[in-house]
Every structure is written in structure tokens, then in C-alpha cells.
Amino acid sequence: MAMTATLKITLDSELRDALDRKSRQLALEPEEAVRQLVRDFVQGRILRLDQEFAEGITVADYLALNDQEDEALWNRWSAEADQQIV
């Protein structure tokens, strides 16, 4: 049987209000939203902006690309993958 533990998290009032609003939008209780965030974090499903997205580029760098830069990057990666197959 899994045991539950209590973790106390203190939020400033602005962040708590934002959590309440977002939870209502998602039809979740705030506590369930936080539990899901913790699950996602420990299972590696949450990306940090400073986390490496691919070799030499962070998540923040990738998200900052304009459409042309994004397309050029994917074209380059596709060409490199094609070369590795041959």
C-alpha cells in the first residue's frame, strides 16, 4: 500500500490567485493541479527553459526562433538524419 506524505508549499497571494484561476479554467482543484505538476516533474515531463532541447540549443532558444529559423533548423536536422541513414 502506498503511503502518502504531506509537503507544505507556501505561495505568495498573487501566485495563489493565479493557481486558483488556472485550476478553475482546467476544472481541477488547486491541490490536484499541484500534485499533477509534481508527478510530471519527477517523471521528466516538464521542461525548463534552460534545459537543453537538442545539442547546442536550449528550450528557451528553440521557443525564441521565428518561423523561418525553425524551418531551417528542422531542415538541417532532417538532412543530417538522412546522411546518417545512407
- Please tell me the number of Cα atoms within 13 Å of 21 on its side-chain side: 6
Kindly give the interhelix angle for 13-25 and 30-42, rounded to the nearest 10 degrees: 90
Instruction: From 23, 46, 21, select the one nearest 34 (Cα to Cα).
Output: 23
Stated pTM of the model: 0.57
Joined together, the cell numbers standing for residue 34 give 499541484
Residues of the chain with pLDDT below 70 are 1, 86
For the chain, what percent of residues have pLDDT higher than 90?
58
The per-residue pLDDT for range 54-75, each reduced to its tens digit, is: 888 999 999 999 999 999 999 9
pLDDT of residue 86: 67
